[in-house]
Structure 1
Amino acid sequence: MYSKNDLYITSNDFASFSNIIYSDRQEYSKEFFNNNIEIIEYSEEKQFKHITYKRLSFEITSGDVIFCNTNQIDNLFYHLSKLQKIEDIILITHQTDRLISKKYYQKKPPCVKKWLTVNVGFNNPNLHPIPIGIASDFSLKNLIFSDFQEFKKNNFKKDDVSLYVNYQNNTNYSERSHIAEMFVNNDWVNFDEPNLNKKEYMAKLANSTFVLCPWGNGIDTHRLWETLYLGSIPITKSHPTFNFDEELPILFVNDYDEITYDLLNNYLDSFEFKNYNFDILTKNYWRKYINDMKSNHSYSETVNEKFYVTAYFKSKRVTLNKLSSMRKKIVTYFYKAKRRLGL
């Protein structure tokens, strides 16, 4: 039996496993407004009261574990690339949907020995996928730590086959829009619109044998981890970012048209708890996983960001945010036009 405090992992837990938090998204607090911090963005909106920041100076020792909001990784790489004697850094990135591709991985400075991240785009022995987990406590529209009760792994072994389908198309229209029509005439499939309150939504997840978890803005999704923590079996497409998940009760397919009643029934019939490592759902597992990578060193350096570096990366962020906003609008208009044309 696992204690509740050791379950329901979030991005902020991964930040807590590090020696240095370079950039993080946390619950909004005025304490972050100080001379050593640059505020990237913040919101005092009740449902998503948060702040994203980065440090303007920090001390780093060879062998340290450093956490970074993935959107600020270019800024961090700028600093790390200038440290000629620092080595064996363990990097953790999280909190965004950015895919870490082979091209992007090649930008990492030589001092980074291991890189742990969500949304891994390819296989590399020094690039390690980690879970997106559940949403942080400040994201009240999502399921958060306080919404969950005791974890009961026996819930995975249900008597009847059922598949639950409930998601927003607009988070990944090309991936999601065609899926539902594959299952409309099956009485073992239950559909809902994505407008349930949290209590209703949790009950539907917990009472379903299988839950469809298609890729969204990123490959990994909160829904997949919500499903596991509630004792149901997620179904999603195979991807390198799920390599460690093969030890969990997740049904991977190459395409969603492979999903049939017989496939699900056979999976359920062959379900054995001994085949899975439920420790992967715990914070202690990931804390140890990271600590086992660390090496002890004594050499340290201090990083102090110059004002012109701060100005450059701020300007770059503004430009990229504008381009991203334009792209989202174009994609939205494109798919609205397709729907109107019946395509």
Structure 2
Amino acid sequence: MKTFNWEQYIQNYPDLSGFTREKAIRHYNRFGKKENRTDSVLPDFNNGIISGEKIQLRCDYFIGTLYDINSNPLIKLEVHKFPEKWLKFSSDVKKECKIFCYTHRMFEFMDLLHGIEFPFDIYFHNSDENFTEEMYQTLKKVPFVKQIYSQNNTVKEVITLPIGQANSSWKHGNSKILGDKMKCIEKSMDCVEKTMGIFLNFNITTPKRVGLRDILNFIPWVENKEYQEYIDTLAKYRFCICVEGNGLDTHRFWECVYLKVIPICVKNKWTEIMKDKVHMILLDKWEDLKDYPLNYTWREYQCIDI
């Protein structure tokens, strides 16, 4: 079997780089915390909360540009010092592997993916881009790709990855706060009294959200809060408005799922794929909510093996 060597592609992709999960974690520990996030830590893989960085770190290789690597607060690498063996996929090392790529980078690296000559699964995440039928048809032509996983997925043949909680580099990516509340609720629903109706709060500057607050003016608006207070407040609600952001999936949706709050969404291609896996209320349009008969009955979601 041939060895796939990145150096063959440097001429076309001069800023291409990659690393194994073990090397990424080791380098994070070696170089320490990014200056702009003094409280950044490696994510807790045992708390049951999905995030993009966890999915990325579970993969064997990461395909991306130097900007992608340098902007990741869990990784600080001096690429010019990489040992040569870090810069290649070797079929002598693994019979198959998991490869991570930002969704919006897929088309940039198709030549590279076609050059891999051993089986691999590919994971797309940490991106606002939606995974489309065009992307699926393009990837189907890659000879050794076995399974495709993606966030913001719209294709039934692809396994949908939740966007999950925000990454730990963000204040709303504090998995301890969310995890502690989730464990409390899982232990006993008496931990939180669900005395509130519909939670309504979102960033109104996102294009698909403009004007929505006026449409839903019959629901009290919840003011912005620090993350701990926000999670404590959200957990008391039975339902929550989950409107599309830049991508189809949202962190709010999964915060609701972890806190046993039922998301309310308008139908789209993503909800059509997820509606049988996660309990949600689906509307044709937001105006329909005013007369919708809401009934709180929680149904556990189906786990996804990644």
Q: Deviations over 1:93-117 (max 9, x none)?
A: 1000111111222222232222100
Q: Deviations over 1:2-61 (max 9, x none)?
A: x9933221112212332333347632554x123377xxxxxxxxxxxxxxxxx7533354
Answer yes or no: is 1:133 the counterpart of 2:164: yes
Q: What's 1:315 paired with?
A: none
Distance 1:14 1:159, change over 3 A: closer
Distance 1:110 1:238, change over 3 A: farther
Distance 2:45 2:75 in 1: 26
Runs of 5+ in structure 1 lacking a partner?
38-54, 281-285, 291-343
Task: Select the structure that is richer in strand.
Answer: 1
From 16, 21, 26, the counterpart of 2:62: 21
Distance 1:170 1:36, change over 3 A: farther
Q: Deviations over 1:283-320 (max 9, x none)?
A: xxx4xx23xxxxxxxxxxxxxxxxxxxxxxxxxxxxxx
Runs of 5+ in structure 2 lacking a partner?
1-43
Q: Which residue type is aligned with residue 120 of structure 1? A: N
Paired residue secondary structure (1:202): helix
Q: What's 2:281 paired with?
A: 251
Q: Which residue type is aligned with residue 136 of structure 1? A: N
Q: What's 1:222 paired with?
A: 251
Distance 1:36 1:59, change over 3 A: farther
Distance 2:45 2:229 in 1: 21
Q: What's 1:294 paired with?
A: none
From 273, 289, 293, the counterpart of 1:263: 293
CA contact (8 A) 1:155 1:232 kept: no
RMSD of aligned C-alpha atoms?
2.9
Distance 1:94 1:159, change over 3 A: closer
Q: What's 1:211 paired with?
A: 240
1 or 2 for the larger relative contact order (CA 8 Å, sep ≥6)? Answer: 1
Q: What TM-score do you get using the length of structure 2 for normalisation?
A: 0.70
From 204, 214, 219, the counterpart of 1:169: 204
CA contact (8 A) 2:103 2:131 kept: no
Q: Which residue type is aligned with residue 245 of structure 2? A: G
CA contact (8 A) 1:11 1:95 kept: yes
Distance 1:21 1:29, change over 3 A: closer
Aligned-residue identity in percent: 20
CA contact (8 A) 2:164 2:251 kept: yes
From 211, 235, 243, the counterpart of 1:178: 211
| Alignment of structure 1 residues 53-132 onto 2, 5 Å | 56-60=87-91, 61-83=94-116, 85-87=117-119, 89-108=120-139, 109-123=142-156, 125=157, 127-132=158-163
Q: Which residue type is aligned with residue 247 of structure 2? A: G
CA contact (8 A) 1:97 1:217 kept: yes
Structure 1 residue 63: Cα displacement: 3.2
Distance 1:72 1:9 in 2: 22
Distance 1:183 1:57 in 2: 53
Q: What's 1:276 paired with?
A: 300
